[in-house]
Chain A
Amino acid sequence: MTARPSTRPWWKTVLGVVFTALMLFPVYWMVNVSLTDASDLRRSSPNWFPTSPTFDGYAAALSQQLPSLGTSLVVGLGSVVLTVVIAAPAGYALAILNLRGGRTLNFLLLVAQMIPAVVMAMGFYAIYVRLGLLNSVWGLIVADSTISVPFGVLLYSTFMAGIPRELVHAARIDGAGPWGTFTKVVLPVSRNSTLTVALFAFLWAWSDFIFASTLSRSGQFVPITLGIYQYIGNNTTQWNAIMATAVIASLPAAILLVVAQRYVAAGVTAGAVKD
């Protein structure tokens, strides 16, 4: 972190801004279309800037998609809780209690991440059809959590393996059992891992389309991703309302990026760079 602003060329900043603008153009376009009047959307040359912005799209989106947003919120939070409750103790067992067969389990978790979602969706569908769990929030929470549990365990165990053993031993000497060590020492120290796991579990459940479109296609519990999809199918002329819904559906990602950017970067690399 040796800051030498005088030697940093300004043209790189300009170039960087240009690259970023190009990359984010689709995002800008989504916002622009969401603010455009429906009648202007069908012109042959679209408006590049929302010179006369209208919030009709947002009004339509909010009046029709509010229940979907609520469903997605519940599903996302449920998936976070389920993921952390399963992944954190497993990480502890793998990293600190030296679970026998830990290498095999690690390998199974890697393999689990490679299974295509469509395959899982078919399996869940076949099971849910018999259990009557289709179109239920619980069914969707469980299915969505399968995206984040293997990642969560791997992230927790990688981090916990780096916790100094002296800390764990000190807790033991103080008379804490394995459970006490876990709740009073390991979990508080792993707070950042919990944040990263929770963040991704929420984002993945919130963004999920495949499970939503197979396990929760109808009924009252339609998540927002499916809300947008059905919107596209129903009224292809109202693209301002569709894009307004898309903007609203992107808000959690935007908020999390601003609030928790370093956890995001940590999570992205953790998937690839682990031992």
Chain B
Amino acid sequence: MTTTSVTQTGRASDGAAGRVPAAPARRRPPGAASTWTAVGFAAPLLAYLAVFYAYPLWRNIDLSVHDYTVRAFVLGNPDFVGIEKYLEVFSSNAFPTALANTALFTIVSIAFQYAIGLGLAVFFHANFRLSNLLRALFLVPWLLPLIVSASTWAWMLNSDHGIVNSVVQAFGGEQINWLTSPDTALTSVIIANIWLGIPFNLVILHAGLQQIPAEVYEAASLDGASAWQQFWRITFPLLRPVSGITLLLGFIYTLKVVDVIWIMTTGGPGNASLTLAVWSYREAFGTGQPDFSPAAAIGNLLIVIALVFGFVHVRMQRSWEKS
């Protein structure tokens, strides 16, 4: 028993990290007597999902179709307004800005995270001395609490005392008001967010690289393919499924980012670094005057966007399983 569990557990973490294709799922014959037993074991989860997921989500929809003033919020007697709050959000001045910022923030963040993550994954794929240790150190930014990384970046980008401006000025540049100028605020939070996302991309793409059989590369180098050709003709195409999942998960994670932006710029100055998620947070919790109804409407809009891409995700996984 003991030996079984040791080999089994050892294999488990390898399986999760290196993704050895698992044995095809074995289905028990239908009509097994354990149906209710299974429901019993899943019952805590089902109850949990109903109470702590479905109910808060329903409350959120409820918030968005009523006019919840602070008074009505406490008393629980808001007026029903239908889609009025949604129309209010769509026609707001902040909406085009927030939508454009969200698109820029997600697309630019993901593009750089992926490109840098892939470059590093290929680099670390060739085992060299200390490669495992250095790759582990790359995980640090991902594990730190976001408040820690965001406030560190905020201090590094501080206009007067930040290290970044100190370097810029040492090379003869002008002082840049990274976080307080409308021209650079969005760029600043994107830079910090790229830094945060590199570890995730590196780890997943590195795991994906290990699935590519070494013989493919050996055959290619026998045929005289250069490293550059090997990357574009073998690595990149064979990594496509993993890349797709990485980019998609990156998109879904980045779409809902609030903390980094809120801590560094609170979406400002003005609306310069306002994204949809930050806007929602600001309306509900960021000002002295909580305005839950529009905040919930923006939140529900975010869910719809995430769901669309979620369906794409499931589709991609299905086709990946088949291939």
- Contact residues of A with B, CB < 8 Å? 5, 8-10, 12-13, 15-17, 19-20, 23-24, 26-27, 29-30, 33, 41-46, 85-87, 89-90, 92-94, 97-100, 105, 107-108, 110-127, 129-130, 142-143, 145-146, 149, 153, 155, 158-159, 161-165, 167, 178, 182, 188-193, 196, 203, 206-207, 209-210, 213-214, 224-225, 228-229, 232, 239, 242-243, 246, 249-250, 253-254, 256-257, 261-275
Contacts and interface: CB of A to CB of B under 8 A. Distances in A.
Contacts of A30: 148, 152
Contact of B285 (A17, A213, A254, A262): A213
A28 B136 CA distance: 16
B222 interface: no
Contact of B52 (A29, A87, A89, A146): A146
B137 A126 contact: no
B48 interface: yes
Instruction: Please provide the 6 A-B residue pairs with the shortest distance between their CB atoms, ordered closest to farther.
Output: A123-B56, A116-B256, A97-B38, A207-B145, A90-B45, A93-B41
Given A16-B130, A20-B134, A123-B57, A206 B145 contact: yes
Among B12, B19, B23, B256, the one with the most A-chain Cβ atoms within 10 Å of its Cβ is B12
Given A16-B134, A118-B258, A119-B300, A246 B57 contact: no
A114 B256 CA distance: 8
Among A85, A256, A261, the one with the most B-chain Cβ atoms within 10 Å of its Cβ is A261
Contact of A268 (B162, B166, B203): B203
B41 A161 contact: no
A264 to B, nearest CB: 6
A159 B280 CA distance: 37
B63 to A, nearest CB: 6
Contact of B8 (A92, A124, A189, A266): A189
B147 A209 contact: yes
A29 B34 CA distance: 57
Nearest to A191: B9
A214 B58 CA distance: 18
B231 to A, nearest CB: 16
Contacts of A92: 41
Contacts of A268: 139, 142, 199-200, 203-204
B4 to A, nearest CB: 7
Given A239-B155, A253-B140, A89 B44 contact: yes
A209 B259 contact: yes
B17 interface: yes
B134 A250 contact: no
A213 B45 CA distance: 26
A12 B128 contact: yes
Contact of B302 (A46, A116, A196, A263): A116
B140 A87 contact: no
Interface residues of B, number: 117
A194 B141 CA distance: 24
Contact of A118 (B42, B63, B147, B284): B284
Interface in B157-182: 160-163, 166, 170
Contact of B42 (A85, A89, A210): A89
Contacts of B223: none
A170 to B, nearest CB: 10
Given A42-B161, A153-B45, A249-B147, A269 B138 contact: no
Contact of B16 (A178, A239, A254, A270): A270
Given A110-B310, A163-B8, A265-B203, A26 B23 contact: no
B108 interface: no
A15 B123 contact: yes
Contacts of A24: 137, 140-141
B221 to A, nearest CB: 14
B17 A262 contact: yes
Contacts of A143: 52
B5 A188 contact: yes
Contacts of B299: 116, 118-119, 122
Given A123-B60, A182-B41, A269-B204, A192 B17 contact: no
Contacts of B306: 114-116
B1 to A, nearest CB: 8
18 contacts: A23-B138, A98-B32, A100-B38, A111-B307, A118-B281, A123-B56, A125-B292, A127-B56, A159-B15, A162-B15, A207-B144, A210-B281, A228-B147, A229-B147, A253-B145, A254-B140, A275-B25, A275-B321
